[in-house]
Structure 1
C-alpha cells in the first residue's frame, strides 16, 4: 500500500461544487451526439474484449467514453446514467497509459466541466494489474476506467438501501461505456476481481470512497 488514504473529500455534488485542485486539467472536446451506428447494432455487437491492438486512444475517444459514463445532458444537471434521487455517488477515473495528448497518470472526470483533472503522475497500469489478479487486459489496455462510489452521498437519503442503488448505477454506467466503446471500435471488459484496499491505496482514495469496477479500454483487433 502507498500509505494512509486521504481524508474525506467534501464535494458531495460535482455539478454543484467543482473540486479545488491545482493539478493539470485537460479540457475534453464536446461529445458527439449523432453517429452512423444505431443503438440496436451496438447492442447486437456488444462483447467483452480482453485483447487490444496496442493503438493509442484519441482525446475525442476519451471525451465520448467519459460522457457516456457520467456526462451531463438535459439542463446540464441530468446525466447519461440514471441515479437514485439524482444524488450521483459515482466518481470516474481514467488510468492513462497510451492516450494522445494526455500524459501518463491518473485523471478524475469532472462532469460539470467535461474535463479531466490529473490526480497522480505516472503510468499505473502494471501496478493496477498486479492487484487485479494479474489479469493481462489491465496491463495491455491503452487506458483503464476505474469507477468508485462515495456511498454517503446516497445513503444520506436512502440509508443502507443506498448501497444497492449505487451498485445499480455503476452497472448502468458500465454498459454505457461498453456501447459507446463498441461504436468507436474500442473494446472493454468489466473487471470486478481486484484487491479493494490495494486499489484504493494506489489511487490514494479518500476514506469514504470505494472502488467498484475496472474497465480496461483498447482499440479492437481487426477480425
Structure 2
C-alpha cells in the first residue's frame, strides 16, 4: 500500500442508486443478523455501504446523513476481511475523495470481536464498519450540546448502512457493547477519535 513513504489512495467505484427498492420494503426486511455465510462481499457493495454512511450526495459536499451545522464529525473505517479486490486490513473512508486509505494491514475482525466483549460472531462477517467521531468538530460550535448531536448523527449513519445492506441483499447488525480503548487500538484510530458503533456486514447464513 505504501509508495515512497506515502500511503496510496484506493479509488472506489462509482456508486449508483439501486432501482426498484421501495423504502417500505427495505424497512420491513431490515433485521440485525448475527449468523453470516462464508461468502465474499464485492468492493462495489462495500463502496455502497461506505457511501450510505458518509458519502457526498451533492455538489456542496453535503453527506448522505444529516449533520448539525454540516460539521460532519463522523469518521468511518472499514475492517475488510473477505472483500473482493481488497486486501484484509483497516481502511479509512475519505468521502470527498471517493476513496479509502490503508491504515493497518491484516485481518482484524477477530481482534474487533475480542474487543467487543468476546462476541465471536463478529469475526464471521465479511466486513465490519467502525463509526467513530471527533467530538471537537461539533462542540467547538455547539458546546456540550454538540455531544448530543454527534450521537444523533451516529444513529443516522448506522440506519443508512442497515438500509443499504438490505438493498444489496446483505445483512448487518449494530454493536455498541465493546471496550472503547481496545477497539480504538485495533482500528488504529487517531487520538482525537472515539469509536461509537461497530457494524458487521455479510450475507446471511440461511
Residue in 2 aligned with 1:170?
A: 154
What are the superposed Cα offsets for residues 7-61 of structure 1, whole Å, 9 maximum, x if unpaired?
A: xxxxxxxxxxxxxx92232211111124221111101111101111111000110
Alignment equivalent of 2:27, drawn from 37, 43, 56: 43
Q: Which residue of structure 1 lines up, in the alignment, with residue 83 of structure 2?
A: 99
Within a 5 Å distance, the mapping from 1:78-89 to structure 2 comes to 78-89=62-73
Does structure 1 conserve the Cα–Cα contact (< 8 Å) formed by 2:55 and 2:95? yes
Determine the structure 2 residue equivalent to 1:63. Answer: 47
User: Unaligned 5+ residue runs, structure 1?
Assistant: 1-20
Task: Verify the 8 A CA contact 1:76 1:112 in the aligned structure 2.
Answer: no
Match for residue 195 of structure 1 among 174, 179, 187: 179
Tell me, yes or no, if the aligned pair for 2:103 and 2:188 is still in contact at 8 Å: no
Quick one: distance in 2 between partners of 1:41 and 1:203? 34
Task: Write the distance in 1 (CA, Å) between the matches of 2:68 and 2:104.
Answer: 30
> With structure 2 as the length reference, what TM-score do the two structures score?
0.95
Q: Cα distance, 1:98 vs. partner?
A: 0.3
More moved, 63-72 vs 34-43: 34-43
* 1:90 maps onto 2:79 in alignment: no
CA distance in 2: counterparts of 1:123 and 1:162, whole angstroms: 34
Distance (whole Å) between structure 1 residues aligned to residue 135 and residue 66 of structure 2: 16
Deviation, 1:135, is 1.0
Aligned 8 A contact 2:114 2:120 in 1: no
TM-score (norm 1): 0.88
**More moved, 199-208 vs 117-126:** 199-208
Task: Report what 2:194 is aligned to.
Answer: 210
SS of 1:75's partner is: coil
Whole-angstrom CA distance in 2 between matches of 1:95 and 1:85: 29
- Write the distance in 1 (CA, Å) between the matches of 2:7 and 2:38: 28
CA distance in 2, matches of 1:61, 1:184: 7
Cα RMSD over matched residues?
1.2
The answer to whether the aligner puts 1:152 opposite 2:136 as a matched pair is: yes
Match in the other structure for 1:139: 123
Task: Could you list the structure 1 runs, at least 4 aligned residues long, displaced by more than 6 angstroms after superposition.
Answer: none
Take 1:66 and 1:22, find their aligned partners in 2: how far apart are those partners? 23
